[in-house]
């Protein structure tokens, strides 16, 4: 098989209902590019018939389709990592399978990459999500920019293009947990962003629960910066100084006014606040230690059960 210019990587998890519509729009959009391409689907341990549907599609278009079947669910970003390790294109594009990012927008990213950029992110126009998710995404974007040097207008959009050099750099990493768009930005020399269309999910529901989104963003914060620890250390220093001043105030008050029983609940409130702050700090420290623990075990990030491809 000739080396294609473009590789499309699509993680799939329980998307049986929407895959036919994806195929109907994806391949015509790629054929219109008039360049060599390959499509790599990664079945991320789906519990429905997604794997069977992908096998049928591979049989229909074996010339440009490859399917990676993971043995168990590893998560969206690890599924994309599996695609990165198997792709051959000079321009690698990631795309979700739910059709919220139209396949027709791929041409915009490729055109931008051909201008000399090595990483092209995307910004969703008229985002078709709930107001809460839009607000939460905006808040997390702002927090991320404050504690890391990574600047992405829309970190939640996975429709992105990567150069072969950036993909190779990502493949050289052995991190157990990583946020691929942020990792790519740290390796890119000429990053850029473009606006893309956004549509409602064609079928099914989002695979990201509120907990999953919080977990993902927490991984992003702790995986690319130690600023949260530094902030907590500075907060601890400030509270220690205030506590010392408060103790001095109580001693002086006792000498001037005398002992008193009032203010007991205020002291309880202050004590509970400090205890809560301490527990939060222990949890944050535990997050960093936990990441180290996961890394030193050297367990595989994902297990490939089978690869469906046609070789000459």
According to the model, what pLDDT value does residue 301 have? 83
CB 88 within 8 A of CB 7: yes
Give the sign of the dihedral formed by CA 182, CA 185, CA 187, CA 193: positive
Q: Which CATH number fits domain 6-207+301-308: 3.90.550.10, 3.20.20.140, 3.40.50.2300, 3.40.47.10?
A: 3.90.550.10
CB 101 within 8 A of CB 95: yes
According to the model, what pLDDT value does residue 97 have? 93
Residue appearing with tokens 């790599």: 40
According to the model, what pLDDT value does residue 207 have? 61
According to the model, what pLDDT value does residue 45 have? 93
According to the model, what pLDDT value does residue 129 have? 64
Question: What crossing angle do the helices spanning 164-172 and 180-187 adopt, rounded to 10°?
Answer: 110
According to the model, what pLDDT value does residue 286 have? 78
CB neighbours of 133 closer than 8 A, spacing ≥ 6? none
According to the model, what pLDDT value does residue 206 have? 63
Residue ranges per structural domain of the chain: 6-207+301-308, 227-296
CB 44 within 8 A of CB 12: yes
Question: What crossing angle do the helices spanning 164-172 and 76-86 adopt, rounded to 10°?
Answer: 120
According to the model, what pLDDT value does residue 22 have? 96
Phi, psi of 272 (to 5 degrees): -65, -40
Q: What is the mean pLDDT of each run of 10 residues along the chain (312 residues)?
A: 89 94 96 95 95 96 96 92 95 95 95 96 79 68 70 85 96 83 91 92 65 67 70 74 74 73 65 77 78 77 89 66
Walk across the sheet containing 119-124 and list its strands.
191-196, 119-124, 160-163, 91-94, 6-12, 37-43, 65-70, 304-308
């Amino acid at each position: 098989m000739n080396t294609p210019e473009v590789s499309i990587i699509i993680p799939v998890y329980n998307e049986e209902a929407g895959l036919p519509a994806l195929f109907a729009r994806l391949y015509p959009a790629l054929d219109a590019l008039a360049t060599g391409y390959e499509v790599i689907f990664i079945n991320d341990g789906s519990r429905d018939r997604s794997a069977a549907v992908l096998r049928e599609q591979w049989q229909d278009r074996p010339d440009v389709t490859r399917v990676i079947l993971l043995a168990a669910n590893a998560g969206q970003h690890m599924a994309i990592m599996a695609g990165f390790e198997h792709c051959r294109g000079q321009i690698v594009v990631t795309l979700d399978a739910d059709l919220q990012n139209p396949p027709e927008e791929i041409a915009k990213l490729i055109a931008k990459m051909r201008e000399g950029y090595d990483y092209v992110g995307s910004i969703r126009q008229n985002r078709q999500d709930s107001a809460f998710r839009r607000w939460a995404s905006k808040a997390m974007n702002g927090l991320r920019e404050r504690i890391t040097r990574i600047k992405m207008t829309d970190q939640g959009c996975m429709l992105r293009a990567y150069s072969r050099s950036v993909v190779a750099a990502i493949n050289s990493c052995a991190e157990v947990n990583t946020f691929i768009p942020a990792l790519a930005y740290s390796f890119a020399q000429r990053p850029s962003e473009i606006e893309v269309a956004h549509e409602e999910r064609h079928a099914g529901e989002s695979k990201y629960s509120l907990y999953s989104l919080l977990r993902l963003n927490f991984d992003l914060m702790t995986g690319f910066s130690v600023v949260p620890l530094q902030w907590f250390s500075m907060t601890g220093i400030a509270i220690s100084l205030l506590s010392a001043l408060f103790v001095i105030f109580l001693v002086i008050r006792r000498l001037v006014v005398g002992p008193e029983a009032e203010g007991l609940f205020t002291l309880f409130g202050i004590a509970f606040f400090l205890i809560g702050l301490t527990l939060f700090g222990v949890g944050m420290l535990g997050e960093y230690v936990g990441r180290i623990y996961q890394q030193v075990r050297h367990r595989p990030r994902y297990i490939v059960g089978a690869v469906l491809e046609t070789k000459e």
